[in-house]
Amino acid sequence: MNKDSKIYVAGHRGLVGSAILRALENQGYTNLVTRTSSELDLRKLPEVYAFFEQEKIDYVFLAAAKVGGIAANNDFPADFIRDNLLIQTNVIDAAHFNGVQKLLFLGSTCIYPKFAPQPLKEEYLLTGELEPTNEPYAIAKIAGIKMCESYNRQYGSKFISAMPTNMYGPNDNFDLKTSHVLPALVRKIHEAKEQSSPTVEIWGTGTPKREFLHSDDLADACIFLMNNYEGNEIVNVGVGEDIAIKDLAMLIKNIVGYEGELVFNSSVPDGTPRKLVDTTKINGLGWKASIPLEEGIRAVYEDYRSSLAVQQ
């Protein structure tokens, strides 16, 4: 990408999209295009085609998606598969037919089989059954990967796919019904401290292990891949180490300064036992994550507290 290339960040208000936008601005890219969902509904093909035809986009970061944690995926499976299929199909197709030079599609490590060997290598895709709690979302993301691969094969497009591990960072979703585990724990434990609650209930046994990547690290990786990678194979983006949910909760408890007890509710499903990605490919290309987990969570907690102060 040149510094004046016309770059569209789809989903620029979300956790990942906002980080990509910040990183592009910080790295001196000047011709950035964004649209809110009210300005452009990516689920509607005529609107998407008209946008691409008018704007003459050079590069696309496809970070727009309907996302959520276990509860949201379980309660709204139709929304997750429908909206994500529509968004990515419309953007990828319009990008191709309107001469976009390169597109980066953001998937998720939930595309890998539930019981795949650890760490998760890119070649494990489609080698086993998915985790049932987020299967509709995962199938939509797999369809996006295969759509990029197929357009590359048939049309010679330069569409690449990155698979980030669990994300956290500024602009995260702290809604307890729809958020992922890390921001949910930050909010729960903060509120317990503020209300002087003696205990905090945490879903599951606390034994599953998860890897957490700061959104600023992912944004840096996405720009790196856009500038340095061409290929039909997916690329994992992660930190290469994971942490048990129980240990994560204890870390957040210490950062927040909560002195009560953490109670684990084992009647709630744990989801996948472990989800650590193999980062050999992206590390071999020359990129490595740089933000330590504790440092990243401290920054997120300060961001969350600042947002609460603004609301008041």
Q: Tens digit of pLDDT for each residue in 266-296? A: 998 887 788 899 999 999 999 999 999 999 9
Domain residues for the domain of 120 are 7-171+211-240+274-291
User: What is the rounded CA–CA span in Å between residue 112 and residue 145?
Assistant: 12
Task: Specify the higher pLDDT residue, 312 or 102.
Answer: 102
107 is in an annotated binding site: yes
In tens, the pLDDT along 143-198 reads 999 999 999 999 999 999 999 999 999 888 888 777 788 999 999 999 999 999 99
| Largest Cα–Cα separation, the chain | 61
CATH of the domain at 144: 3.40.50.720
Point out the least confidently predicted range of 36-40, 73-77, 106-110, 246-250.
73-77
210 is in an annotated binding site: yes
199-203/166-168 β-pairing: unpaired
Q: Does residue 2 sit within a domain?
A: no
Q: How far apart are CA 6 and CA 12, in angstroms?
A: 15
Q: How many domains does the chain have?
A: 1
**Lowest mean pLDDT segment, chosen from 27-36, 44-53, 299-308:** 299-308
Minimum mean pLDDT among 51-60, 112-121, 153-162: which range? 112-121
List C-alpha distances in Å: 178 to 172, 175, 250, 267. Answer: 11, 6, 22, 19
Nearest to 219 by CA among 27, 1, 77, 3: 27
270 is in an annotated binding site: yes
Query: Which residues does 170 contact at the CB level (< 8 Å), separation at least 6?
Result: 15, 18, 19, 215, 216, 299, 300, 303
Q: What pLDDT does 307 receive?
A: 87
pLDDT score for 275: 84
Average model confidence (pLDDT) for the chain? 94
180 phi/psi in degrees, rounded to 5: -85, 175
Whether 117 shows a pLDDT value over 80: the answer reads yes
Residue whose C-alpha is closest to residue 144's, from 129, 130, 159: 159
% residues pLDDT > 90 (the chain): 85
Q: What percent of the chain has pLDDT over 70?
A: 99
Q: Mean pLDDT over residues 231-246, rounded? A: 96
Joined tokens for residue 197:
């609650």
In a domain, 1, yes or no: no
Residues annotated as catalytic (active site), given as ranges:
137
**Is 206 assigned to a binding site?**
no
Query: Does residue 312 have a pLDDT over 70?
Result: no
